[in-house]
Amino acid sequence: MAETTHGALAPTYHPLPITIARAHGTHVWDTDGNEFLDFLSGYSALNFGHLHQGLVAAAMTQLRQVTLTSRAFDHDRLEEFAQRLVEVVGPLTTGGEDSLVVPMNTGAEAVETAIKAVRKWGYDVRGVPADQATIIVAGGNFHGRTTTLVGLSDDPVSHDGFGPFAPGFVRVPFGDLAAVADAVDDTTVAVLMEPVQGEAGVVVPPDDFWPGLRALTAEKNIALVADEVQSGLGRTGTTLACELWDVQPDLVCLGKALGGGIVAVSAVVGKPEILNVLTPGTHGSTFGGNPLACAVGVAALDLLSTGQYQARAAASGKVLQERLDALVEQGLLTGSRCVGLWAGIDVDPALGTGRELCEALLERGVLAKDTHASTIRLSPPLSIVQPELEMALDILEESLVALRD
Ligand code: PMP
C-alpha cells in the first residue's frame, strides 16, 4: 500500500493511505472515485453523517447574514444557541433549566474552560486557597492536546517531552471509586473524567462508578465534570453517556458533533453556581459562540432533540454488539466493548496490528482508525442503516480472516 507523504505538513499525523474528495451521509469517496463507508465519523464529530441537509441549510442561510462578531457585541443567534443547549442538555446536569453555557470552539477548549471554572469556583465559593486547588482525573484519559491537558495524560507519546506541566491534578485508575475517595482532600475542587473513555479504546467503567462518583462529590461539595466531547450527543444511545447511569454531572463538556461536522463548536453546560464565576475579563474566545457556529449548533441540537439519533444508535448498537461478540467467539478478536453505536475492538497481536487491520479494512471499503497498537474504535454515523452496518461488519470479518490466513 502506498505510503502517505507529509509534504509541507509537520508530521503530527500518520494518516491512512486515502485522499478524500467528497462525502455524503455514511459514505466518502476518494480522489479516484472509490467509495468507502465511514466507520470513524471524525472521532464522532459526524454523528449526523456527512453534509446533513438540515445542517448544510442552516450554515448556508447564516453565511448570507453574518458569520463573526466576536463577543464584544451580541448577535441574534447567540442567546438562541445557549437556550437550546440549556433545553436539551441542561436538565441532564445539576444546573437543570437554570444551567449556563460557555461557548467555545474545540473540545480541548471546553475542557480547559471547565478546569478554569472549577478552580475559580473553588477559590471564590469554597475558599480553597489560591493556587492550591486540585482536580482528580483518570488514568487512560484523553481530554485534548493543550499543554495542560497533555499533562494529565499517561500516554507517553502524548505526554513525554512536553513538560513542564501544570500542577494541581491527581491521577487515579479509571473506574476505581476507592482510589478517587482516597485522593480527595480539602483542596479537591473537582473530579474530571470521560464517562466512557474514547481514545483509550471505548473503555466502560463498572456500573457503580459514576453513581458512586456522584454521591461522593455531592457529599464533599466537589464539582463533578463529565467530558462528553466524544461520548455525548447521541453516540451511546442516549443524549449524554452519563444518562446510562442516571447521573447528573455539575458540568458537561461538549464538542465534536455539536458542530455537525461542519464547524468547530464546543461548550461547557451546567451549574450556574460554578459558571457564574467566569465574569467579564476572566475567559473568552474570538470565535467562541460565533453566529455561524451557533446557527449550525442550533440545527444540530434540533436533530438531537427528536430523540431519533439516540434511538438509532441504541438499535444499531445491538446489531454491532452481537456481531462483535460473534467475532470474539470465533477467536478473530481478543475482545470487544460496545456501548450504543460505539465499539473498541482488540486485535490479536498474532494476527496483526490495529493499523494493519485498518489498512485491510480500507482496501475493502471501510474507514476506521486504530487508537492503540492493537485496538481500533468503530463509530459510524448514527444515521447508518442496517444493510450498511451489516456490510461493514462482513468486511471486518473478511479482513480479520485475511490477516489470519
Ligand atoms: N475530550 C475528549 C473525550 C475527546 O475525545 C477529545 C478529542 N478526541 C477532546 C476532548 C479534544 O477535542 P478537540 O480535538 O476538538 O480539541
- 69 lies in a domain? yes
Q: What are the pLDDT digits (tens) for 291-341?
A: 999 999 999 999 999 999 999 999 999 999 999 999 999 999 999 999 999
CA distance 195 to 247: 10
Task: Give the distance (Å) from ligand 1 centre to CA of residue 253.
Answer: 10
Q: Residue 267, by phi and psi: left (phi above 0), alpha (psi -120 to 50) or beta?
A: beta
Specify the pLDDT at position 49: 98
Q: Which helix (H) or strand (E) holds 211?
A: helix 209-220
| 229, 242, 263, 287: residue to mutate for ligand 1 pocket, most atoms within 8 A of CB | 229
List ligand 1's pocket residues with C-beta within 6 A: 43, 106-108, 111, 142-144, 194, 198-199, 227, 229-230, 255
Specify the pLDDT at position 102: 98
Query: Looking at the structure, do residues 158 and 293 belong to the same domain, yes or no?
Result: yes
Specify the pLDDT at position 1: 47
227 is catalytic: yes
- 287 lies in a domain? yes
- 2 lies in a domain? no
| Sequence-distant (≥ 6) Cβ neighbours of residue 296 within 8 angstroms | 55, 58, 59, 62, 259, 260, 262, 263, 265
Which position among 36, 39, 120, 227 bears the catalytic label? 227
Contact 139, 156 (CB under 8 A): no
From residue 99, give the alpha-carbon distance in Å to each of 86, 95, 235, 269, 273. 6, 4, 23, 6, 9
Query: Looking at the structure, do residues 354 and 395 belong to the same domain, yes or no?
Result: yes
Query: Looking at the structure, do residues 33 and 66 belong to the same domain, yes or no?
Result: no
Query: Looking at the structure, do residues 70 and 43 belong to the same domain, yes or no?
Result: no
- What CATH code is carried by the domain that includes residue 283? 3.40.640.10
Range of the domain at 45: 20-52+310-404
Mean pLDDT of the chain: 97
Query: Looking at the structure, do residues 138 and 62 belong to the same domain, yes or no?
Result: yes
220 is catalytic: no
Q: Which residues of the chain have pLDDT under 70?
A: 1-5
Q: Is the ipTM of this complex over 0.90?
A: yes
Q: What are the pLDDT digits (tens) for 103-154?
A: 999 999 999 999 999 999 999 999 999 899 999 999 999 999 999 999 999 9
Total of domains in the chain: 2
